Structure 1
């Protein structure tokens, strides 16, 4: 189990530490790190383009303070191709670029001594490239344990809140409440009442880009957002993610079998 003295009231920010401090932290700690992943993309007329990154950064800092696991600099660009060029502001990476970026970071973390990586993602369509990066890294480095965790789905209560007003939600009540409470500079409260747009994806087979499903880049009801809702939801995300990471710090693979070594075939007698 990790040392309890590593649990602190302040986050451990990788970018604020010197190399001797990082080396000592890895040698004396859980050999783990948290990577916040966001995006730069349109979030309707009422939220700033940095919403996803702001949420990932804020959540991971709070979780780092609770667990003592250092948090890496946030990735501010993501796979946002689905938001199209209809609304200015989105700056998207291709899936291949995001995969390469995260695997490069993972390679360096492995060689620094990190053995558990928590990729905390606040942009839905980052999920597939991040999963691909996970596959590459654990095949490349035997024993590297990596988890991709979406902030909107850290627990049943959090997921229920995010999906309450739309199955294909974006810039909705939950996200708007979080920004009102945690990053008000990104919110335009005077525009909330006119920013609602319904979910038009029910019953569809294909995954259509946002320009073909939303009039203004929103899916959901940001008009219902409140600061109180945002504070409650943020507390849930941090508490539930903290619990998950604490459990993961003592988790080991069910079998200690080398990835690169052939073993006996149990089907051959």
Structure 2
């Protein structure tokens, strides 16, 4: 059987999108990543490349249209110690994603799956979710963090570090999905331990890592990246399929008092 291509919002016309959306309960996927340092061995685009490839693979299975990827995120914690990070502040990011969601709503989207591949995007994206729900009573928004989409995916990401970054899981994924982003000759020397255990405060990466890495990329492999990505696609596709038929537990309008 020939694999289907993803349904990309940017490739569709205004005459085609209404039918695309109607076929999948008016759902769309918004991939969100970041552009930031990923140690000495991974390219700065790792997070948005992962978000996009994951969303495209899920779209190919579910036929849910994928909005253009947001390649910037909230990466303030990576400091200026290592070049390459391009960051949005959390307020700007929340407003930006809320505006994207509102425009998608005006184009017919009523179920929005935000697929996030950068850990510290979670808070501003949750704020954007709250803004969108309050503004559009018939819009349902799901925020899915790619590294924790299921327990098996979570366990793989956290296997070598609790505060992981550019670790074995992320390096494996890029070996399998985007080898141009990987510098194989730098992997063996990139390991750096998690120094955050037991800390009271949340410290920026320049105070917890020597090279921008937390974890053991030396344990990465192409085979592990293939296996992990397959899990991510399977588990996110299942979640999206469930979301296509979900309705609110109660029908009460947002703006009407009890």
What TM-score, normalized by structure 1, do the two folds share? 0.94
Matched, 1:219 2:218: no
Q: Which position in structure 1 is the counterpart of 2:140?
A: 145
* CA displacement 1:209-253 (0-9 Å, x = unmatched): 000000000000001100000000000000000001101111110
User: Which runs of no fewer than 5 residues in structure 2 stay unpaired?
Assistant: none
- 2-structure distance, mates of 1:27, 1:238: 23
Cα root mean square deviation, aligned: 0.8
Q: Which position in structure 1 is the counterpart of 2:197?
A: 202
Partner secondary structure for residue 36 of structure 1: strand
Matched, 1:34 2:29: yes
The runs of at least 4 aligned residues of structure 1 exceeding 4 Å deviation read: none
User: Which structure would you say has the larger Rg?
Assistant: 1
2:21–2:28 CA contact under 8 A, matched in 1: no
Instruction: Give the CA deviation at 1:47.
Output: 0.1
Instruction: Give the CA deviation at 1:9.
Output: 1.3
Q: Which position in structure 2 is the counterpart of 1:56?
A: 51
Q: Which position in structure 1 is the counterpart of 2:186?
A: 191
- 1-structure distance, mates of 2:121, 2:204: 15
The equivalences for 1:96-245 within 5 A come to: 96-245=91-240
Matched, 1:21 2:16: yes
* CA displacement 1:77-99 (0-9 Å, x = unmatched): 00000000000000000001110
Between Structure 1 and Structure 2, how many residues are aligned? 256
